[in-house]
Amino acid sequence: MERQEIMRRFAEAAGNPLSYARAWKERTGRKVIGSFPMNFPGELAHAAGALPMILQETDDPITAGHGVLFPFYCGFTRSMVDQAMRGEFDVLDAIMFGDHCVQLLGAADGIRMHLTKTRVIFFQLISSMCDPWTQGRSEESFAKLRAELEDFIGEAVADDAMHASIRLFNRNRALIRKLYDMRKKGTAPLGAIEMQHVVKSSMIMDKAEHTDLLQQLVAQFEGAKATPNRAVRLHLSGHFCQAPKPELLEMIEECGVVVVGDDLYHGFRYISTDVPEEGPPVSALARWYMDRNTGVPCPTRVQNNVDWDAYLLDAIRDERADGMIVLMAKFCEPHMYYYPEVKEAFEKAGVPHLLIETEHEGMALESLKTRVETFVEIVKRREAA
Amino acid sequence: MNRHVMGVDFGSTTAKTVILDLSGNIVAHSVAHMGAVSGDGVKQSMKDALEEAGLAQSDMGRVVATGYGRRMLDEADKNYTEITCHARGAVAMVPGARLVIDIGGQDSKVISVDSNGLVAQFAMNDRCAAGTGKFLEVLARAVEIGLEELGDTALQAREKLKISSMCATFAETEVISLLAEGHPKTDVLGAVHAAIAMRTLGLVGRVGKKGPVVMTGGVAKNPAAVHYIQQALEMPLILPKTPQIAGALGAALIGLDDYRAENKHLFISEHEDMAREEQMAADKACIPGCRGVPELAVDPFEKQPPKGKLKSLLGTIQNHI
Ligand code: SF4
C-alpha cells in the first residue's frame, strides 16, 4: 500500500475513533472496551478477544458535561464526561477506569453515575514506583483487572492468549520506535501530525491491522537517505492524556521547526517500553508498568531515582535538538506541579525551552505563533552568537 | 552596494519606519497612525521616512519587517517578531537595559535581555486586551475622555479605587458603576492605570524582575501608566525619547547585521580604509611619500611607519634586504 493511503487510514482512525470502533464491532461482532489513559495494558482486553481502545478527547465544545465537572478540570476529563453525557460512548461495552490523578477520578465518577448500563471496571495502580512492594502491588492490581475482565466476558483469559497479545503489542511498539529512530536520523521525514496519527491510531485500531500497516510504512523508509533539513530541531514535551491539536503542531512546524523527538503520551511515551515476553503474563505486565516510568518518567508517578527533567535533557542531547517546546494542558495538575523543576533544570543547563499552555476551548493561534517564532529566533540567534 | 537599511514595524494601529546608514545611525524615522492594520498606513510611513532621508526604496540594502502585519509587507526581505525587534531596539536606545516593558495597542510584553543584548525570556498577553493600549482606549471611552488627556487626568487621582476585572468589557462595567457611585473621573482613571500596572507586574514576575528597565511602545507616552508601573515595580523606568520606534529600530538593526554579514567583503573599517588609501598613494608615487608635490614628499617608511599588517610585511621585507 502507498504511504499516503497508509497515512490516510491512520488519520481516519485517529480523527474519529468511535466510528472506527462502531465499524469494527459491526464487522467482527465482538466487544469494544474503552479505557482511560495512561497505564492500562491493552494486551489484557485484546487477549480477551475485545478491541481495547484508549478514549480520546474531541474538539467539540463542552455542553452537557458542564453540569457534571467544573470548568477548572482539564480539557480531557471534561471532554470525556461530555461525550459520555451526549451518548457518544454507547458503542463501548465496558470502560476501564483508573485514577492516575484526582481529575481523572472525578471524571470516572461522573461517567459511572451516568452510564449506568455500561460495565465499569475500575482499578487503582500504586503510584509509588520504587518501594519494595511496588511489583507485588502492581501484580495484585493487574490480577484483579484480569479477573474482572474474565467475569465481564464470561470466560477465562488463557496465558497463551495473553502471551500472543503481548508479542503483538511489542511488535507494534517496536515498529513505531523504529519510525521514531528514522525520524531522528532524517530518513523518515514524518511531520508532527503524521507521527501523532501513527501513535494515536495505534491506541484505537485493531492491533494486528495496525501492525500490518506499520510494517508496510516502515519498509518504505528502509534504506532511505537522510533528507537534509535546515529547520530548527525541537523536542516536544508534555501533554499527557490528550493529543495536542493538529493545528497547533502545524503552526509550530510553520515557524521553521522540525520536531525530532517527543515524550508526549500521544507519542513516544505510549510506545517507549515493551512487556517482557517470558514468565507469568500478569507479572510481566507489572514489570512493564514499572519499567515504563524509567523509559519515559511520568509526573503522575513517584520515583526517587528517576527525574523527568534529567530524562528530557538526555533526550535532547540524543536527538541533537536545539531546544524544547513544552505543551501543558490547562489545569493539568501533575504537569503544573512538575514544570518548575523542568524549567529550573533547563535554565541551569542553558537549553532553551518555551512553555505553551493549551486549552480544550481553542487557542489564539496567531498570538501563539508570535511566541513560537520568537522562540525560533532566540534559538537561531543564540547559536549564531 | 546600497548604503542604507530600513526597519518597518507594521503594528495594529500605527506603522513605524526607521532608516539607518551602514554605521547604524538613524537617518530618518516616521510614525503613521492608521485605524487598523492597513497597507496604506505602512506605505505612508515608509514614504515619509524615505522623503525625510532624501532616498528611494531602491536605495535600501535590506528591509526587515516586524509587528502584526510583518508577513504582509512585500518590500520586506525578512521579518522578525516584535519581541525580538523591540528588545533589540530598546537595548540600542538604552544600552545596558536588562528588562524591556513594551505596551502597544493590542499587546503588552515583557522581555528580559541577557548581557549580550539577546532575548533571554519573554512573556506577553496571549489571551485578551488586558493591560494593553486597547484596554486604556475602551476605558477612556467609558469615562468620555480623549486619549491625549487620559494620562494627565489620571495623575490627579486622590482616592485609591480598585478595578479588579482584567477583561476590558467587565472593567468597563466596573468603571461605569464607580462613576455612578459618584467617584470623580480622576480617581476612576487612576484605578484604571493601577490595574494596567498590576497586569504588567504579573508579566514581569513571569520573566523575573531585574534592571535597568526600559519602557517602550505607545503607552510609554502616557505619564500615568509610567507612574503606576514604576510604583508597582518599585523601580524606575527609563523612557527613550521615541519609545514608539523601538520595534522598527530593532528591525532595521537586525537588517543591518544581516546585510553586513552578507557583504562582509565590501565592508571595511575607517582604519582599514585609511591604511588602504595610504598604501595606494605610496604605490602610485614615483618619489616615496609624494602626493602630487614632490618637494614636500616625506618618505613614509622612515618617518611614519605604517601600522598593522602592512608594517609587519615591510619589516619582513627590510629584514630580508
Ligand atoms: S494527568 Fe493531566 S491531562 Fe491527564 S487527566 Fe490528569 S489533569 Fe487531565
Beta bridge partners of A101: none
Residue B183 to residue A58: CA distance in whole angstroms: 48
Q: Which residue has the higher pLDDT, B118 or A152?
A: A152
Beta strands at B60-66 and B78-79: parallel, antiparallel or unpaired: parallel
Nearest chain A CA: its distance from B86 CA (Å)? 11
Q: Chain B residues with CB inside 8 Å of A368's CB?
A: 126
Residue pair B282/B288 in contact by the 8 Å Cβ criterion: yes
Distance B263 CA to ligand 1 centre (A): 53
Query: What is the least distance, in Å, from the CA of B8 to any CA of chain A?
Result: 17
Quote the crossing angle between the two packed helices B185-207 and B147-154, to the nearest 10°.
90
Upstream peptide bond of A336 is cis (omega within 30 degrees of 0): no
Q: Give the model confidence (pLDDT) of A151-160 as tens digits.
A: 999 999 999 9
pLDDT 10s digits, B230-282:
999 999 999 998 888 999 999 999 999 999 988 877 766 666 667 766 766 66
Strand partners, A95: A34, A120
**Hey, of B70, B102, B116, B126, which one would you mutate to test binding to chain A, going by the most A CBs within 10 A of its CB?**
B126
> Is the distance from the beta carbon of residue A69 to the nearest atom of ligand 1 less than 6 Å?
no
Q: Mapping DSSP to helix (H, G, I), strand (E, B) and coil, where does residue B302 land?
A: helix
Predicted local confidence at residue B114, as pLDDT: 84
**What pLDDT shows up at residue B144?**
83
Supply φ then ψ for residue A41, to 5 degrees. -80, 105
pLDDT at B303 over 60: no
CA–CA separation, B248 and B29 (whole Å): 9
Helix axes A308-318, A333-349, angle to 10 degrees: 50
Identify whether the C-beta of residue A126 lies closer than 8 Å to the C-beta of residue A152.
Answer: no
For CA atoms A143, A145, A151, A155, the dihedral sign is: negative
A73 CA to centre of ligand 1 in angstroms:
8
% of chain A at pLDDT higher than 90 = 84
- CB contact B129 to A (< 8 Å): no
> Band of the pLDDT at B129, cuts 50, 70, 90?
low
Asked if B81 has any chain A CB less than 8 Å from its own CB, the reply is: yes
| A155 phi, psi to nearest 5 deg | -155, 165
pLDDT at position A179 is: 97
Is residue B268 left, alpha or beta, with left meaning phi > 0 and alpha meaning psi from -120 to 50?
Answer: beta
Please tell me the distance from the alpha carbon of residue A303 to that of residue A131, in angstroms, as a whole number: 9
Residue A285's SS3 state is helix
Distance between CA atoms of residues A288 and A173, nearest Å: 13
Comparing CB atoms, the residue among A364, A371, A382 nearest residue B118 is A382
Q: Which three cell numbers stand for residue B107?
A: 499587546
- pLDDT value of position B128: 66
The SS3 assignment for A191 reads coil
Residue of A nearest to B84 (CA): A374
Distance (Å, whole) CA A372 – CA B130: 21
Residue range A7-24, pLDDT digits in tens = 999 999 999 999 999 999
Considering Cα of A366, then A370, then A375, then A381, what sign does the dihedral take? Answer: positive
| Of the candidate ranges A281-290, B146-155, B214-223, B275-284, the one whose mean pLDDT is the lowest | B275-284
Q: What is the pLDDT of residues A94-110, one digit of tens each?
A: 999 887 888 998 999 99
Which residue in B218, B251, B10 sits closest to B105, CA to CA?
B218
- pLDDT tens digits, A260-300: 999 999 999 999 999 999 999 999 999 999 999 999 999 99
- pLDDT averaged over every residue in chain A: 94
Q: Which three cell numbers stand for residue A108?
A: 470516572
Cross-chain CB nearest to A374 (options B107, B122, B127): B122
**All structural domains of chain A:** 27-155 (3.40.50.11890)
Percentage of residues of chain B with pLDDT beyond 70: 79
- Of all residues in chain B, what percent carry a pLDDT higher than 90? 42
Regarding the domain delimited by B108-239, which CATH topology (the fold level of the hierarchy) does it fall under?
Answer: Nucleotidyltransferase; domain 5 (3.30.420)
Average pLDDT, rounded, for chain B: 82
Distance, CA of B32 to CA of A34 (rounded, Å):
59
Is the pLDDT assigned to residue B307 strictly greater than 80? no
Examine the pLDDT at B170 and tell me if it is beyond 70. Answer: yes
Which pLDDT does position A151 carry in this prediction?
94
Q: In terms of CA atoms, which chain A residue is nearest residue B254?
A: A381
Q: Is A81 in the pocket of ligand 1 (CB under 6 A)?
A: no
**Is there a contact between B119 and A370 if contact means CB atoms under 8 Å apart?**
no
Cβ distance of B81 and A367 shorter than 8 Å: no
- Pairing state between β A353-358 and A323-329: parallel
Cell of B272: 582599514
Q: Residue B238: which H helix or E strand, with range?
A: strand B237-238
- Identify which of A270, A301, A333 to mutate to test ligand 1's pocket (most ligand atoms within 8 A of the CB): A333
Mean pLDDT of A187-194: 94
| A334 cis-preceded (ω within 30 degrees of 0) | no
Distance from CA of B176 to the nearest CA of A (A): 29
Question: What is the secondary structure of B168-199 as a DSSP string?
Answer: HHHHHHHHHHHHHTT--HHHHHHHHHHHHHHH
Inter-chain residue contact B122 with A371, CB threshold 8 Å: yes
Kindly state if the Cβ of A104 falls inside 6 Å of ligand 1: yes
pLDDT at B108: 87
In angstroms, the CA A264 to CA A60 distance is: 22
pLDDT at B87 over 70: yes
pLDDT tens per residue across span A232-262? 999 999 999 999 999 999 999 999 999 999 9
Three cell numbers written together for B15 = 506603522
C-beta A241 within 6 A of ligand 1: yes
Task: Assign B135 a pLDDT band (cuts: 50, 70, 90).
Answer: confident
For residue A355, the cross-strand partners are A326
pLDDT value at A177 more than 80: yes
Residue B287 pLDDT level (bands cut at 50, 70, 90): low
The neighbour count for residue A377, using CB atoms within 10 Å, is 21
CA distance A383 to chain B (A): 11
The greatest distance separating any two alpha carbons of chain A, rounded to the nearest whole angstrom, comes to: 67
Residue B14: which H helix or E strand, with range? strand B14-21
Residue nearest to atom 6 of ligand 1 (CA): A101
10 Å CB burial of residue B269 (0-12, 13-18, 19+) is: exposed
* Minimum mean pLDDT range among A80-84, A369-373, B16-20, B207-211: B207-211
Say if B4-94+248-262 and B108-239 have the same CATH topology. yes
- Choose the residue to mutate in A56, A78, A127, A240 for probing ligand 1, maximizing ligand atoms within 8 Å of C-beta: A240
- The two beta strands, B14-21 and B4-10, are antiparallel
The percent of residues in chain A predicted with pLDDT above 70, rounded, is 100
Q: Give CATH for domain B4-94+248-262.
A: 3.30.420.40
Which residue in the set A364, A373, A385 is minimally distant from B81, CB to CB? A373
A298 lines ligand 1 (CB under 6 A): no
When pLDDT is averaged across residues A343-360 and rounded to a whole number, the result is 94
Which range, of A342-351, B153-162, B277-286, averages the lowest pLDDT?
A: B277-286
Whole-prediction pTM = 0.84
B136 or B279, greater pLDDT: B136
- pLDDT computed for residue A229 by the predictor: 83
Q: Is the pLDDT of residue B117 over 80?
A: no
**In sequence order, which ranges of chain A are alpha helices (DSSP H)?**
3-15, 17-28, 42-47, 75-85, 102-114, 134-153, 159-185, 192-202, 207-221, 246-254, 268-271, 281-295, 308-318, 333-349, 365-384
Residue A239 CA to residue A245 CA, distance in Å, equals 10
Q: What's the gap in Å between the CA of A346 and the closest CA on chain B?
A: 13
Q: Where is pLDDT greater, at B146 or A253?
A: A253
Going from N- to C-terminal start, the domains of chain B cover 4-94+248-262, 108-239
